[in-house]
Every structure is written in structure tokens, then in C-alpha cells.
A and B are shown apart, each in its own frame.
Chain A
Amino acid sequence: MEITIKYFGQIAEETNTTEETIRIENGNISNILTLLLKKYDGLKYKDFQVAQNQEIVSPETEITGAEIALLPPFSGG
């Protein structure tokens, strides 16, 4: 399936893009992370959480096809 991945803050600095589409077979979030860590070497030094369909998920969560976002530490307020 095709999945939209969004990047924010210092993660977007690392990937040099704020959004892209990737193709991936069914699986879980960790499969996406493996793929992205291969593509963007510097990501492994970064602290981030993953959201799927705007909810924070764990690496074991199954991919649904909804939008994925890589979120660095929050710093609102």
C-alpha cells in the first residue's frame, strides 16, 4: 500500500522534506521505521514518537494505511 509520511521539526531537518509517500507491504510500524532508518541514517540519533491517523502508536501497531507522522519531542507553550 501507499502511505503518506509526515516529518516535523528537527526530524524534517534530518529528512530534508516534510512529507513523502512510501510503498510498503502490510506489517507493523516497526517495518516502516526499518525502512526510514535505512533511508535516513541520521534518524537513529533522534528522539521521536510515531503517530498513525493522528494517534501516538507503538512499533508493534499494525499499519492501517492511514497517515503516519514522525514527531520530535513536543515543545508547545
Chain B
Amino acid sequence: MKDKKPKNVFIKGAITHEFIGNSIYKHQSKTSIGAHNIFLGQVRADKVDDKTVSAIEYTAYEDMANQKFHDIREATFNKFNLTCMHIYHSLGTVKAGEICLFVFVSAPHRKVVFDALEYVVEEIKAHVPVFGKEIFEDQSHQWKKNT
């Protein structure tokens, strides 16, 4: 499942439960897999003073981001014995409660998928140029920062 060219990780808007369910379903034909692990990032309705975040609007330096996602994929396959891996990230508006990041790793056995998933998510948070603008209910905004 390793590929050499960066592919497009971005999806316009929220990542739907149908998309996620379908992605799981497609792995039924890959019968060497014995363990999947999934991370779903969800937009939180954070309260700041008396305002509540109603959505995050994502933008990215897309070329660099897709290259970074690709590098993270390569590094993860080199580090962990995975059968396959999928990463999807939203661009544009994602409402509170909706999914904005979907990371899916699969392997013959369980142990590796726990470590691999954490590694992938932390690498994404640290190295991929994606920018989240938190929109409040009154349409004012602030810029999100990963901690």
C-alpha cells in the first residue's frame, strides 16, 4: 500500500460517518489485517469568555501539507509494520461536533496499530501546515493553535 507520489489528503468540509464507515467496509477484502485503529478529530465547541466556538474554518498550504502527509506516511511505514494507512483532513468549514481529521491504520496484529496511530497524529499536529480559524456564534473569530 506504499505509494511514492503525494496524494491529496484534503476533503472539502466535514468528514462524514458514511465516508468513515465505507472506508472500514472496504478493508473487508484485505484479510491479512487483524487489527485496525482509528483516530477521529472532532471540532470542539470551546467556550472563550462568554462566546462559544460554532465551527472551524480550515485552510492549508496545500502543496506543502500534502508533501508533509506523504513524508509522515513514509516514515510511519518505515517505523511500524503496517498493512495500510489512510489520512484525511478537512478544508473549509467544519461545524462543532463534526469530524475534521480521520486517521486509519491497519496491521496483522494489534500492538503496532496503537503505537503507529499515536505517532501519525502527533506528527500531523506538529508538522503539517494547516490553519484553523475558530468561528464564534456571533461570527467573530480567533486563530486556533495546537498545543
Which residues of A pack against B, CB within 8 Å?
6, 8-10, 51, 54, 69, 71-77
Q: What distance in Å separates the Cβ of B122 from its nearest Cβ neighbour in chain A?
A: 10
Q: Known pairs A6-B61, A76-B129, A77-B146. 12 more at Cβ < 8 A?
A: A72-B143, A73-B145, A73-B146, A74-B125, A74-B129, A74-B130, A76-B58, A76-B130, A76-B146, A77-B89, A77-B100, A77-B101
User: What is the predominant secondary structure among interface residues of chain B facing chain A?
Assistant: mixed
- Cβ of B126 within 8 Å of any chain A Cβ, yes or no, is yes
Those of B41-69 within 8 Å (CB) of chain A: 41, 58-61, 63-65, 67
Which residues of B pack against A, CB within 8 Å?
41, 58-61, 63-65, 67, 89, 100-101, 121, 124-133, 143-146
Choice from A51, A54, A69, A76 contacting B132 with Cβ under 8 Å: A76
State A76–B129 Cα separation when bound (angstroms).
7
User: What is the predominant secondary structure among interface residues of chain A facing chain B?
Assistant: loop
State A73–B133 Cα separation when bound (angstroms).
11
Which of A6, A73, A75, A77 neighbours the largest number of chain B CB atoms within 10 Å of its CB? A77
Contact A9 B131 (CB under 8 A): yes
**Shortest 4 CB-CB contacts between residues of A and residues of B:** A76-B130, A9-B131, A75-B144, A54-B64
Contact A76 B128 (CB under 8 A): yes
Name 20 A/B residue pairs within 8 A (Cβ), A-sorted: A8-B129, A9-B133, A51-B61, A54-B61, A54-B64, A69-B129, A73-B143, A74-B126, A74-B128, A74-B146, A75-B130, A75-B131, A75-B143, A75-B145, A76-B60, A76-B101, A76-B125, A76-B131, A76-B146, A77-B121
